[in-house]
């Protein structure tokens, strides 16, 4: 048997309980940043991947973005980078999943936090949109 019905958002807003943080499990552990640049893991044997590690690890360490929880992400990112370099240097085509994995790992490490450049020209069709809910 299901529990009580969920309270609609508009009623939560009226009661003032919409933005209340959850009371259970709201504490997220914060890992301390690594102070020294770690060496590449032994399983990272691709030379392009090791070069990428040697390039990124000091940058992430200096910006205090590298901690014990995301060292594996950095290793995976470097491995994917090494694989992409192998594919592209042999005139091959990387599949979309591999490129998306590279972007996801980069974003998880905080390296894609910048905004993409926007079009400087105004949208001449902006006034042609319909209001929400109208046919």
Task: Confirm if 73 and 105 have CB atoms less than 8 A apart.
Answer: yes
Over residues 79-96, the pLDDT tens digits come to: 999 999 999 999 999 999
Residue 90 domain-assigned? yes
Residue 34 domain-assigned? no
Maximum separation of any 2 CA atoms in the chain, in Å: 62
| Mean pLDDT for the stretch of residues 9-26 | 65
Query: Is 112's pLDDT higher than 60?
Result: yes
Residue 116 domain-assigned? no
Of 12-16, 34-38, 90-94, which gets the smallest average pLDDT?
12-16
| Mean pLDDT for the stretch of residues 60-83 | 92
Residue whose entry in the numeric block shows the structure tokens 């005139």: 91
User: What residue numbers bound the domain in which 90 lies?
Assistant: 45-110
Higher local confidence (pLDDT), 19 or 49: 49
Query: Is 26's pLDDT higher than 60?
Result: no
Which of these, 117, 106, 119, lies nearest to 65 by C-alpha position? 106
Residue 9 domain-assigned? no
């Amino acid at each position: 048997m299901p529990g009580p019905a969920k309270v609609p958002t508009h009623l939560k807003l009226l009661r003032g309980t919409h933005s209340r943080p959850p009371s259970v499990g709201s504490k997220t552990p914060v890992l301390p940043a690594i102070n020294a640049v770690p060496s590449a893991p032994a399983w990272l044997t691709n030379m392009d991947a090791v070069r990428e590690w040697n390039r990124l690890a000091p940058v992430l360490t200096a910006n205090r973005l590298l901690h014990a929880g995301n060292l594996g992400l950095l290793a995976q990112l470097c491995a994917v980078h090494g694989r992409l370099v192998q594919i592209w240097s042999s005139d091959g085509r990387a599949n979309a999943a591999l490129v998306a994995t590279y972007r996801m790992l980069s974003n998880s490490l905080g390296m894609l936090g910048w905004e993409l450049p926007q079009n400087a020209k105004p949208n001449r069709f902006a006034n042609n949109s319909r209001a929400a809910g109208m046919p």
